[in-house]
Amino acid sequence: MKYFVNDSCIGCGLCAMACPEVFEMTDAGIAIASKKEVPTDVLDAAAQAQSGCPVNAIENDD
Ligand code: SF4
């Protein structure tokens, strides 16, 4: 499983707080997702980050 942040991101920072192993904020103030496969032990946190995004900007390849 890999995640992607689309152009809808408003830079609220929630995903990076919910799952910093996968999501981080750029200097431009938007989120990016790790290009690596999500480790098993953070799958739940990553899914919570996705569901918590207020603008549905987080997609995955599942
Ligand atoms: S939760 Fe959504 S809107 Fe907020 S920073 Fe993450 S991707 Fe962007």
Query: Which CATH number among 3.40.50.1100, 1.10.357.10, 3.40.50.300, 3.30.70.20 corresponds to the domain 3-60?
Result: 3.30.70.20
Q: Is the CB of 33 under 6 A from ligand 1?
A: no
Helix/strand number for the chain, H first, E second: 2, 4
Calculate mean pLDDT across residues 8-37: 98
Domain chopping of the chain, boundaries: 3-60
Calculate mean pLDDT across residues 43-61: 98
Q: Given pLDDT bands bounded at 50, 70 and 90, which one contains residue 13?
A: very high
Query: Rounded to the nearest whole angstrom, what is the distance from the C-alpha of residue 37 to the centroid of ligand 1?
Result: 19
Distance from C-alpha of 44 to C-alpha of 28, rounded to nearest angstrom? 27
Calculate mean pLDDT across residues 5-31: 98
Q: Given pLDDT bands bounded at 50, 70 and 90, which one contains residue 62?
A: confident
pLDDT in the model for residue 46? 98
Query: Rounded to the nearest whole angstrom, what is the distance from the C-alpha of residue 22 to the centroid of ligand 1?
Result: 12
